Amino acid sequence: MIKKIEHIGVAVKNIENSVHIFRDLLGIPLEKVYESDAIKTKIAFFPLGDSTIELIEPMDPSSPAAKFIEKRGEGIHHLCLGVEDIEAALKEFEAKGIELLNKTPRKTADGRIIAFLSPKSTNGVLIELMQLGAEE
């Protein structure tokens, strides 16, 4: 069911400073940056092998990323796992007793199909599921 670690999400206060670190200092190429009005964040993607590092900057103090940074500081926000069939994965995980933050998947502004599992059920780790092959 789970095929790979798709990406690791990192909450940051300032995406430009963080892009400098990941691109210029660490040498990881920047693929794209876009803003998500739905979750009030700016997001940068750094592909690395079969996975990606995703930087998440809050654009609004009420966004989930802003609340995360306020509570925990900058750092790893979530782990995204790639699955072949996200709806089947959600059903299976729920049947196993894992609390779902999203009962149905949603499409992101850049065409990904995602859903989240509650960190209450996964040792405090926010897990995002992403349908593989669904990106535009």
Q: How far apart are CA 123 and CA 7, in angstroms?
A: 19
CATH domain 2-131 topology: 2,3-Dihydroxybiphenyl 1,2-Dioxygenase; domain 1 (3.10.180)
**Residue 43: Cβ within 10 Å count:** 20
133 pLDDT band (50/70/90 cuts)? confident
Q: How far apart are CA 57 and CA 42, in angstroms?
A: 5
Express each pLDDT in 14-42 by its tens digit: 999 999 999 999 999 999 999 988 889 99
pTM of the full predicted structure? 0.91
